[in-house]
Amino acid sequence: MGPQIINPELFHDKRGTFHEVFNMDKEPWSHMHFQQQNVSVNHRNVFRGLHYQYENPQGKLVRVLRGSVYDYIIDLRMRSPDFGRVQRFHMKADDTLLWVPECFAHGFFVLEPETIFTYNVFGSPYMKEDEYSINPSQFPEIAQEWIAQGRTDEGYPIIMSDKDKAGLKFKEAPIYE
């Protein structure tokens, strides 16, 4: 199963709303073991990613709790018709979730100050020695000059970790057959 936007059913009453974020008995993650939940609070113009684990792949259920991001995923399955294709999702603080399957690199660019981003991780446990980072600046769909120049159109600096700046070129990254 590929990536998909998930819009959970909302229940409204006089108190507000309620919805189920995920249920282990429902697809697409029902066959996978829940590993961890992560939350990051990010400044505007932060780029995190493009990350994945090769030997121990993980699926991620991602969501923005406050603010907004451009979320990017890249299919690393060589036999897929979408191999190497960048998909971008504009995600904002609402009830929408994005399922990022195993064997995809994932990253996001923060559009608003103090954006809160969360993701539930399914599949294999996190192993630092198995994590890879692909440098986003080589993808025109992501870079569009601003990553390559290190600045947004408004002149603000892009904030990236040293690890992500030194990420692999796509052609050097381990991929799935």
Active centre residues (catalytic)? 51, 119
Spatial CA neighbour of 101 closest among 132, 55, 58: 58
Q: Is 62 in contact with 91 (CB distance < 8 Å)?
A: yes
Spatial CA neighbour of 160 closest among 58, 36, 84, 49: 49
Q: Is 62 in contact with 100 (CB distance < 8 Å)?
A: yes
What distance in Å separates the CA atoms of residue 156 and residue 112, rounded to the nearest whole number?
A: 12
Q: Is 148 helix (H, G, I), strand (E, B) or coil?
A: helix
In one-letter notation, the amino acid at residue 142 is: I
What distance in Å separates the CA atoms of residue 131 and residue 21, rounded to the nearest whole number?
A: 26
- With tokens 């603080």, the residue in question is 93
